[in-house]
Amino acid sequence: MSTTDEIIELSERHSAHNYHPLPVVVSEARGAWVTDVEGRRYLDCLAGYSSLNFGHGNPAILNAAQEQLQRVTLTSRAFFHDRFADFCAGLADLCGKDMVLPMNTGAEAVETAVKVARKWGYEVKGVAPGRAEIIVMDGNFHGRTTTIVSFSTDPDARDGFGPATPGFTIVEYGSAEAVREAITPDTVAVLLEPIQGEAGVLVPPAGYLTRVREICTENNVLFIADEIQSGLGRTGDTFACEHEGVVPDMYVLGKALGGGVVPVSAVVADASVLRVIKPGQHGSTFGGNPLACAVGGAVLDLLKTGEYQARARELGALLHERLRALIGPAGEGGHGVVAVRGRGLWAGVDIDPSIATGREVCEALMRRGVLAKDTHGSTIRLAPPLVISEEDLNWAVDRLTEVLDELSGTAAPAEAAEQAPVPSPRTPELSGR
Ligand SMILES: *Cc1c(COP(=O)(O)O)cnc(C)c1O
């Protein structure tokens, strides 16, 4: 078996450098824990950017996948298969909508939403051909296709990949007034993340989603919620929009919908919207395949119990309480945390940049057995699987506290030298587990 260094060296030589991973090589995982090729264990506080809400190797999801693997895995949409109807009906029901258009990755689902909104604009709203406009937000992250990066405001994501796809207007995130001012007779949709994940877990001001919803309704504009990262339990509700009781016209889902097993994404909307797509106008060879539908169906069953949402809510309250206690100057009552944002088991933690970069904090956390990811220089993103135990969550925050004290030079030397042992994995009682 190869060592960590050998595997990393080979990967760097033969794979494009489109990521900058932490130097850990995972070989096994269960629940909230992963094990690397050297046998070291880590608490996974990223959870595949919320793709692993139900934990690694969730038994209910694995059972559904294994059973389906033995029966039929792919038919293409040229034929029906016996998993399709239940999955689509179940997902539509979860969203309170009529119809589902299944795809695979998140970016494909966003592309689908853009196409549907434009076609709806021309055929239903009556926008002149080629003039449809979609309002998007500053700081957005919706994926990596050429059209999606056309309206990114992150230079790394956008620059060098032009020419840009026209038809998008970027406004300030969190300002409903900015949305209202940007609407023209050609506006067909507003596309936003109810909480901006990649931007650093930015929660918009209270009332923002409600006001955007009203503005969309008043102007006959579709409200598209990209809940790819915020949805399916992460924030303590099934959807982050629920926090304000807001129902979008189109949900864009992905990540956790595939149960951490296969890519499953979808656009969910009423028939009045999705019926604009006719045979031959959109599709995907793998979208809605039997394995995807079996896994997605298992995910829907887990969500229906409400336990995962409740867990994100309760443990999220604990997480945020403990993180807020770290706010303040290092050694003077605080631990060098500047701000904490988020909802449920999802937090963006801004570290005082004079102490360390986000990357340095994540590397130090890794050495202590916690995997997390930095974003935008000095922000750490925490999004553990929703199956994490309370003890493990506390353990992770203890490690973060130690790391911050060590990096700011405020830890007692003896304490800094002493590494807390990585505990045995603990898995709470939840249905499907
Ligand atoms: C991850 C993500 C996407 C893109 O999903 P992929 O599966 O990586 O294409 C789109 N929108 C949001 C909000 C995301 O977090």
> Measured from the CA of 196, which atom of ligand 1 is nearest?
13
Average pLDDT, the chain: 96
Judge whether 67 lies within some domain: no
Longest dimension (CA), the chain: 71
Q: Based on the fold, state whether residues 193 and 331 are members of the same structural domain.
A: no
Question: What's the burial of 254, exposed, middle or buried (CB within 10 Å: 0-12/13-18/19+)?
Answer: buried
What digits encode the pLDDT tens for the residues 118-135? 999 999 999 999 999 999
For residue 414, pLDDT over 60 is answered with: no
The label of the residue with tokens 């296709």 reads 145
**Residues paired with residue 100 on neighbouring β-strands, in sequence order:** 268
- Determine the average pLDDT of the residues in 84-101: 98
Q: Based on the fold, state whether residues 87 and 202 are members of the same structural domain.
A: yes
**Residue 315 Cα, ligand 1 centroid: separation in angstroms?**
24
Judge whether 428 lies within some domain: no
- Determine the average pLDDT of the residues in 374-401: 97
When pLDDT is cut at 50, 70 and 90, the band that residue 430 belongs to is confident
- What was the pLDDT predicted at 399? 98
- Determine the average pLDDT of the residues in 101-115: 98
How far apart are the C-alpha atoms of 277 and 281, rounded to whole Å? 6
Judge whether 433 lies within some domain: no
Cβ–Cβ contacts within 10 Å for residue 284, how many?
18
DSSP string, 224-293: EEE-TTTTTTTTSSSSGGGGGT---SEEEE-GGGGTTTS--EEEEE-HHHHTT--TTSS--SSTT-HHHH
- Determine the average pLDDT of the residues in 187-208: 98
**Residues paired with residue 350 on neighbouring β-strands, in sequence order:** 339, 379
Among the candidates 264, 286, 304, a domain finishes at 304
Q: Based on the fold, state whether residues 293 and 365 are members of the same structural domain.
A: no
Residue, of 417 and 56, whose pLDDT is higher: 56
**Residue 116 Cα, ligand 1 centroid: separation in angstroms?**
18
**Distance between the two ends of the chain, CA-based, in angstroms?**
31
Q: Based on the fold, state whether residues 293 and 144 are members of the same structural domain.
A: yes
Q: Based on the fold, state whether residues 258 and 357 are members of the same structural domain.
A: no
- What was the pLDDT predicted at 415? 57
Judge whether 374 lies within some domain: yes
Tokens read off for 183: 């609407």
The label of the residue with tokens 């974003």 reads 375
Among the candidates 251, 284, 304, a domain finishes at 304
Q: Based on the fold, state whether residues 320 and 372 are members of the same structural domain.
A: yes
How far apart are the C-alpha atoms of 133 and 171, rounded to whole Å? 13
When pLDDT is cut at 50, 70 and 90, the band that residue 411 belongs to is confident
Q: Based on the fold, state whether residues 96 and 120 are members of the same structural domain.
A: yes
Judge whether 272 lies within some domain: yes
**What single-letter amino acid sits at 67?**
E
Judge whether 427 lies within some domain: no
- What was the pLDDT predicted at 427? 67
Nearest protein CA to atom 11 of ligand 1, as residue? 142
When pLDDT is cut at 50, 70 and 90, the band that residue 304 belongs to is very high
For residue 387, pLDDT over 60 is answered with: yes
- Determine the average pLDDT of the residues in 274-299: 98
Q: Based on the fold, state whether residues 20 and 83 are members of the same structural domain.
A: no
Least confident of 97-106, 329-338, 382-391: 329-338
Output the domain CATH number for residue 314: 3.90.1150.10
DSSP string, 17-52: -S----S--EEEEEBTEEEETTS-EEEESSHHHHTT
What digits encode the pLDDT tens for the residues 340-365? 999 999 999 999 999 999 999 999 99
Tell whether the torsion through CA atoms of 267, 31, 58 and 291 is positive or negative: positive
- Determine the average pLDDT of the residues in 247-271: 98
- Determine the average pLDDT of the residues in 76-104: 98
For residue 267, pLDDT over 80 is answered with: yes
- What was the pLDDT predicted at 422? 82
For residue 162, pLDDT over 60 is answered with: yes
Look at residues 200, 204, 234 and name the one whose alpha carbon lies nearest to residue 358.
Answer: 200
How far apart are the C-alpha atoms of 205 and 223, rounded to whole Å? 18
How far apart are the C-alpha atoms of 202 and 348, rounded to whole Å? 8
Judge whether 137 lies within some domain: yes
Ligand 1 contact via 84 beta carbon (within 6 Å)? no
Ligand 1 contact via 194 beta carbon (within 6 Å)? no
310 Cβ neighbours under 8 A, 6+ residues apart: 236
What does the chain come to in residues?
A: 433
Look at residues 151, 155, 142 and name the one whose alpha carbon lies nearest to residue 108.
Answer: 142
Phi then psi dihedrals of residue 100, to 5 deg: -125, 140
List residues with catalytic annotation.
141, 226, 255
Q: Pinpoint the alpha helices (H) of 307-389.
A: 307-324, 358-367
What digits encode the pLDDT tens for the residues 8-46? 999 999 999 999 999 999 999 999 999 999 999 999 999
Ligand 1 contact via 248 beta carbon (within 6 Å)? no
How far apart are the C-alpha atoms of 396 and 390, rounded to whole Å? 10
Ligand 1 contact via 389 beta carbon (within 6 Å)? no
Q: Based on the fold, state whether residues 102 and 234 are members of the same structural domain.
A: yes
Among the candidates 263, 281, 304, a domain finishes at 304
For residue 412, pLDDT over 80 is answered with: no
- What was the pLDDT predicted at 413? 62
- Best of 105, 229, 230 for a ligand 1 pocket test (most atoms within 8 Å of beta carbon): 229
- What is the per-residue burial (b if ≥16 Cβ within 10 Å, else e) of 49-61? bbbbbbbbbbebb
Q: Based on the fold, state whether residues 277 and 135 are members of the same structural domain.
A: yes
When pLDDT is cut at 50, 70 and 90, the band that residue 334 belongs to is very high
Nearest protein CA to atom 15 of ligand 1, as residue? 229
For residue 416, pLDDT over 80 is answered with: no
- What was the pLDDT predicted at 433? 64
Domain interval for residue 154: 72-304
Output the domain CATH number for residue 84: 3.40.640.10
- Determine the average pLDDT of the residues in 409-428: 70
Q: Based on the fold, state whether residues 121 and 221 are members of the same structural domain.
A: yes
Judge whether 202 lies within some domain: yes
For residue 139, pLDDT over 90 is answered with: yes
Please say whether the beta carbons of 342 and 348 come within 8 A: yes
Tell whether the torsion through CA atoms of 144, 373, 382 and 329 is positive or negative: negative
Cβ–Cβ contacts within 10 Å for residue 82, how many?
12
- Determine the average pLDDT of the residues in 243-268: 98
Q: Based on the fold, state whether residues 143 and 280 are members of the same structural domain.
A: yes
> Measured from the CA of 51, which atom of ligand 1 is nearest?
1
**Residue 316 Cα, ligand 1 centroid: separation in angstroms?**
22
| Domains identified in the chain, total number | 2
